[in-house]
Amino acid sequence: MRMTQPHIQPRLRIAPSPTGQLHVGTARTALYNFLYARHLGGEFFMRIEDTDVTRSKREHADAFCEMLRWMGIDWDGDIIYQSDRFEMYTQAINSLLEKGLAYECFETPEELEAINAERKEKKLPPGYDGRARNLTQDQIQAYKNEGRPRTVRFITPDSGTSEFEDAIRGKVSVLWENVSDFVIERGDGTPTFFLANAIDDIDMDITHVVRGEDLIDSTHRVLALRRALGNAEQPFYAHTPMILAPDRSKLSKRHGAVSLESYRDAGYLPEAMVNYLVLLGWAPSNDREIVTLEEMISEFDIFNVNKSGAIFDVKKLEWMNGEYIRAMQTTSIVTRLKTMADARYGSSYDFERFERAVELAQPRATTFVAMLDQMDPLFAQDFSIGQEYVEALRSTDQAIEILDAVEKHLTDCDWTLVGIDLRDVVSEIGLKPRKALPAVYIAIEGSTSGLPLFDFIELIGRDEAIRRMRNAKLLLG
Ligand code: GLU
């Protein structure tokens, strides 16, 4: 069943908490919000949820915005910072207190822990037992005089059910007896996530809330707050499934790179990243995988987002990035890679060779950084063979014979690709190229994969090729 769209002019938002780098999951949520807003012809806003002053940093917020721009995502209007709006939240909290819908509490962290332990013993869900609901003014004053920390809690119903309709998950409900009175103002006077989130969605007239499933439980509390603040109208909700690691646990730092920054720095193209992210939970028509942002906007429908979590597969991302690199003009790759090459090799490397190396790397590319890694044996000052490959060379059958034959051939062959071709050379000593050429690869490029071998040999020139064959033989002793 499709829910009706609540407003004519949809207004969506991304509401990151700037406590670290941009997680790929948040990047995908931002993308889905942006796509759905544009698809519906609505607006998309940026709200920084930085009420937790101890954990939030402006530099993370700035980086978040920069990364979204990098992805090609833009937003409408000015960025809203919750930290600029404390006054509004305090007013709302005071009005809830005045209406008797919230109350002041004075427990110390140790006392709260004890309450939790007590509940655990009674097999009750963790939370607060509401003991301060009916404090008298005198008690409150006495606690204040004691200098105890003061928090404000919102009163949740003791019985009944909270229910809302989610575009992806369907009906979502919870028993109120399992949701205890929750904090809306912290001891330091700052509002909590629930409060600021509820107020801002009302204040910004947000019509559609698309966000990660990890927040689904908070929605009951946010909706209760909205009602208490006099806003019975419910936005349209869609909670997207989590992004998972290959072992199907929630993707986190222990699985490797999880920030968008790390993928940008590893040389992924924003177009490829966006394309990959959109597929984590949604698929365009006709089994297509490569889709432009314009196509995504025209086809994206939140009702077609999967219920189950999507696995973050770096291999697939690499493949996709490679597809984008292959589709680029070689000259524009040269331009973009040159800056990175200058930083890596200084300014003395041979630019013509560099252009040729880019041509060679492009058809097999995964990322810009991987392309440059393949060029290292060509341009890096200190070419050497890593220990792992020295071992591989040593355990190759007839290694000396192979290297001798190749050296001899390279000494007087025509210096063209056809002339350099080593397949017959190794066949003549009774070996299959597949078996014998990895040793030559190691001698020339320092590993068993990289730029195509014969082209590479042609590029480094006869003298250098022979020198590398001899050095490799020295390693064999
Ligand atoms: N600030 C929340 C977060 O970064 C998102 C809140 C929301 O989208 O409603 O997880």
The whole-number average pLDDT for the span 76-85 is 97
Cα gap 65→56, rounded to integer Å? 14
The whole-number average pLDDT for the span 455-472 is 96
Residues 6+ apart with CB under 8 A from 213: 169, 239, 240, 241, 242
Nearest atom in ligand 1 to the alpha carbon of residue 201 is 9
> Residues lining ligand 1, CB < 6 A?
15-17, 49, 197, 209, 211, 215
Q: Which residue has the tokens 């399992």?
A: 178
SS3 239: strand
Nearest atom in ligand 1 to the alpha carbon of residue 211 is 8
pLDDT single digits (tens) 232-289: 899 999 999 999 998 888 888 888 889 999 999 988 999 999 999 999 999 999 999 9
Is the separation of the CB atoms in 90 and 188 below 8 Å?
no
Q: How many angstroms separate the first and last alpha carbons of the chain? A: 75
Which residue(s) pair with 103 in the sheet? 153
pLDDT single digits (tens) 153-172: 999 999 999 999 999 999 99
Instruction: Using a pLDDT cut of 90, give the percent of the chain over it.
Output: 91
- The pLDDT value given to residue 189: 93
Res. 463: pLDDT tops 90 = yes
Give catalytic status of residue 99 as yes or no. no
pLDDT single digits (tens) 341-377: 999 999 889 999 999 999 999 999 999 999 999 999 9
Res. 7: pLDDT tops 90 = no
Find the length of the chain: 477
Cα gap 403→301, rounded to integer Å? 59
- The pLDDT value given to residue 98: 97
Backbone angles phi, psi at 231, to 5 degrees: -125, 90
Helix ranges (DSSP H) in 300-398: 314-327, 330-345, 351-361, 368-379, 387-394
The whole-number average pLDDT for the span 106-117 is 93
- The pLDDT value given to residue 216: 96
Which is nearest to 10 in space by CA: 236, 247, 161, 314?
A: 236
Query: Residue 215 C-alpha to ligand 1 middle, in angstroms?
Result: 7
* Tokens, residue 269: 């193209």
Q: Which residue has the tokens 């995502």?
A: 73
Res. 6: pLDDT tops 70 = no
The mean predicted confidence, pLDDT, of the chain is 94
Is the separation of the CB atoms in 462 and 408 below 8 Å?
no
Query: Residue 279 C-alpha to ligand 1 middle, in angstroms?
Result: 21
The model's pTM is 0.90
